[in-house]
Amino acid sequence: MSRSFFDHAFAAGPTGPAPDAGWSEPPPRKGFFTDTSICIGCKACEVACKEWNGVPQDGIYELLGSSYDNTGALGASTWRHVAFIEQPVRQADHEGADHDRAVDLGMPSFDKPGDSDGERTEFRWLMSSDVCKHCTNAACLDVCPTGALFRTEFGTVVVQDDICNGCGYCVPACPYGVIERREGEPEVKNVGVAQKCTLCYDRLGAGMTPACAKACPTESIQFGDLDELRERADQRVRQLHESGVADARLYGADPDDGVGGAGAFFLLLDEPETYGLPPDPQASTNDLPAMWKRAGLATLGMLAAAGAAFLGSRR
C-alpha cells in the first residue's frame, strides 16, 4: 500500500489543484479576496452575477423580515449573497474594551437611533458578500459520479450543466452548504441540475474580470492571482490591527485548513459564525483514504482467517 496514495488521494499536491487535475503549464491560480470591512451591502455583485450568468431571480422582490437581506443565503439561484448582519455591541459587558466598540471604517456617518433621547442602542452593521470557496480539496468534485464537476486550468471548480445528472451527491459533500440543485418550473433554466458560482469561467478564458468583482464599487471583492491576493490580504489585516481593529482576521486563506485553503477567502471583523460560516470547515472526503485503508486491512484479515479455517478443516 502506498502511503502517498491512501493518505493524499483527495488532497492537492504542492504544485496546486490545476496540475493535479492534469493541466500542463496552467496559468497562476485565480481567486477572490473579499474584504468585508469595506463592503457597503449595495448588492451590485449579486445583480452583476445574475445578469452575466443568466441566473434566475431568487427573492428579488421579497424581504425576509429579519433583516434588509432579501436572498437569505447562497443557493442554486444565488451565486453571490450579501449578508446584512446587525450586531449589538456588548458595551455593558465589556465597558472600555476596544474590540467591542463599533469600528470606524470611514463610511458616511449618521445619527444612531435613540441618540436624541439618550436611549441609543449600540450596534454595528457587518456586511459580507459570500460565494463558493473553490476549495483546494473540493469534496463536491471528489464525489461527483459523472465528472460534471471539474477543476479548471485556473484552479476553480465548475459544474458542466449538460453532464450533471442531478444525483445531488455534491450537495451534502460541500462543507459550506454552497452547491444546490435548482428547483422550479420545467421552463426555468437548468432545473434539477447542481448549480453554483463558476468564478465566471467564460470571462476568465477571455482574460476578463469576473462580473461581481468588476461591479463592486468599493473593491471589497478583489480578483487576481491567489498568491498575490493572499499577500494583499495579509497587508490589509496588519493595517487594520494597527488602526485598532483587533478582531480583523482572514478566513479561508490558510492552505493547511480542512479544505486545503480556499480559492475565495475573506477578511472578517468577527468570528466566522457571525457571518454564517463554519469555523473549521472540513472536506467530507478527508477521511476516505483512512477508511479505505482500514477496510483493506479488515478484508485481508477476514481472508486470512477464512484461509486458516479452510486449511484447518482439511487436516
Phi-psi region of 60 (alpha: psi -120 to 50; beta: other; left: phi over 0): alpha
Q: Is 118 helix (H, G, I), strand (E, B) or coil?
A: coil
Grid cell 483527495 in the structure block, residue: 10
**252, 286 Cβ separation under 8 angstroms:** no
Decide: residue 46, CB within 10 A, 0-12 exposed, 13-18 middle, 19+ buried.
buried
**Cα→Cα distances 290→285, 293, 294, Å:** 10, 5, 6
**Cα→Cα distances 149→134, 160, 175, 186, Å:** 11, 6, 16, 23
Binding site per annotation, positions: 39, 42, 45, 49, 132, 135, 140, 144, 164, 167, 170, 174, 197, 200, 212, 216
Sign of CA pseudo-dihedral 132, 56, 152, 154:
negative
Distance between CA atoms of 217 and 235, rounded to whole angstroms?
A: 21
Binding site per annotation, positions for [4Fe-4S] cluster: 39, 42, 45, 49, 132, 135, 140, 144, 164, 167, 170, 174, 197, 200, 212, 216
H or E segment at 232?
helix 226-242
- Residue 35: phi and psi, rounded to 5, are -90, 100
CB atoms near residue 8 (< 10 Å):
14
